[in-house]
Amino acid sequence: MDAFRITGGKVLSGEVAVSGAKNAALPILAAALLTPEPCHFERVPELTDVGTTLRLLAELGVAVERDGDRVTLAASSVRTVQAPYDLVKTMRASILVLGPLLARFGEARVSLPGGCAIGARPIDLHLQGLAHMGAEVAIEHGYVVARASRLKGCHHYLDFPTVTGTMNLIMAATLADGVTIIENAACEPEVEDLATFLNKCGARITGAGGDRVVVEGVTALKGASHAIIPDRIEAGTLMLAGAITKGDVTVTGACPAHLEALIQKLREAGARVDVDNDRIRTTVPDGLKALTVRTLPHPGFPTDLQAQMMALMTVAKGVSIITETVFESRFTHVAELCRMGADIRLEGQNAIVGGVRELSGAEVMATDLRASAGLVLAGLVAEGETWVRRIYHLDRGYERLERKLGGLGASVARVTAPL
């Protein structure tokens, strides 16, 4: 089982390129199910979750070709509408095939994803929306079974701006009979990128990226080509890696407009953030000050950067308060950070983080994708050596992170650790 061995104390500097966004690639690859024609994608990140998605699509009968960050999919001979448990259990985002399969083939059987380290992660809002569009939805032997001769457009309000729920409903609505309006839709840039791709395929979607999305159903979609947007969470993670080491890091190929909340918070903490087109340079002229951070749906501060921001705050001056409002248990990194000497106390959904002079390297355990990123950042500044185990969590969402950090001067080695 792989681990990262990190020697702390290196000051990061230089330029690093951002890869394509995992959370845009996963729905957009699934959306290729909506058309029998070939779809060509660029800037598809080489991540475990992308590999799992491509394996799932191949299992359904989609023709898959991949060459580095280029992927071609053709769903001209889908042979089953069942997404099996053994694949779905490794990646919750497999639920993203539900909407496309149902819309194109009138039926879908997708294993219930089950919870994960950060929460129960139910999909009730996905199912409510599809039922509102006329689908018969049942849970049978651990599978979601959905059927509809043809979905019907409807005016649907989401109780929570669920990201993949919004994506599933948009994909389903593209082939529905009539107009679908989704109120309280997720506004994440990845939702907007999905709609951009679908409109290239002939869908008629307006308002994506905002909280009211309107989809006029069509009878069929054609193939299209699309380049995935940059990964704002990877970009933010790399910016925070520069900040925590008080270095001078420029991320390139980024989209600053997707990172407004982080940029403002970093400036509030005393960092200097210079934006120039697709380049974001982060430096820390003096020390870092404590912050109050509250995670919220986009455009609020992203929950996917909460652990990484907490790592930064463990060595800031003063007491920070970090409130997690999106997931019910996304503090699994706190105990591990405390083993590195961090001063963090949990009170419900609030983490009270007292800045300390220095963290100390330790053996820590990754529990989920973004928690492991937070531990890596802490290891960059901890005194001595930090081992982050179960780094497979990190590989789900970061493309060769050890090489990207190493290119900035960090001492991070991927090693095969004893079990």
Considering the candidates 39, 116, 201, 338, report the single residue annotated as catalytic.
116
- Indicate the residue among 250 and 306 with the shorter CB distance to ligand EPZ: 306
* Total residues belonging to the chain: 419
Q: At what angle do helices 22-31 and 189-200 cross, to 10 degrees?
A: 30
Give me the least distance between CB of 159 and ligand EPZ, in Å please: 8
| Smaller CB separation from ligand EPZ, 23 or 386 | 23
Q: How far is the CB of 194 from ligand EPZ (least distance, A)?
A: 10
Residue 80 zone, left/alpha/beta (φ > 0; ψ -120 to 50; rest): beta
Cβ burial of 277 (10 Å; 0-12, 13-18, 19+) is exposed
The Cα–Cα gap between 385 and 333 comes to: 18
Question: In the bound complex, what is the minimum distance in angstroms from residue 10's beta carbon to ligand EPZ?
Answer: 26
Cα(113)–Cα(126) distance, integer angstroms = 13
Tell the smallest beta-carbon distance from residue 343 to ligand EPZ (Å).
Answer: 26
For residue 232, give Cα distances in angstroms to 22, 55, 56, 77, 335. Answer: 9, 25, 25, 34, 26
Tokens of 42: 């660029």
Which residue's CB is nearer to ligand EPZ, number 114 or number 122? Answer: 122
> Position of tokens 């999106």?
326
Q: Which is nearer to ligand EPZ, 307 or 378 (CB)?
A: 307
Shortest Cβ distance from residue 144 to ligand EPZ (Å)?
11
338 is catalytic: no
Least separation in angstroms between residue 36's CB and ligand EPZ is 25
Contact 205, 218 (CB under 8 A): no
CB-based burial label for 257 (10 Å; 0-12, 13-18, 19+):
exposed
**Strand pairing partners for 295?**
301
87 versus 382: smaller Cβ distance to ligand EPZ: 87
Q: What angle in degrees, to the nearest 10, is found between the helix axes of 22-31 and 98-105? A: 20
206's enclosing H/E stretch is strand 204-206
Coil, strand, or helix at residue 257?
Answer: helix
**CB of 312 within 8 A of CB of 326?**
no
Q: Which is nearer to ligand EPZ, 243 or 369 (CB)?
A: 369
DSSP state, 29?
H
List residues near ligand EPZ by CB under 6 A.
Answer: 22-23, 26, 93, 119, 121-126, 160, 162-165, 303-304, 326-327, 369-370, 397
Catalytic residue positions?
116
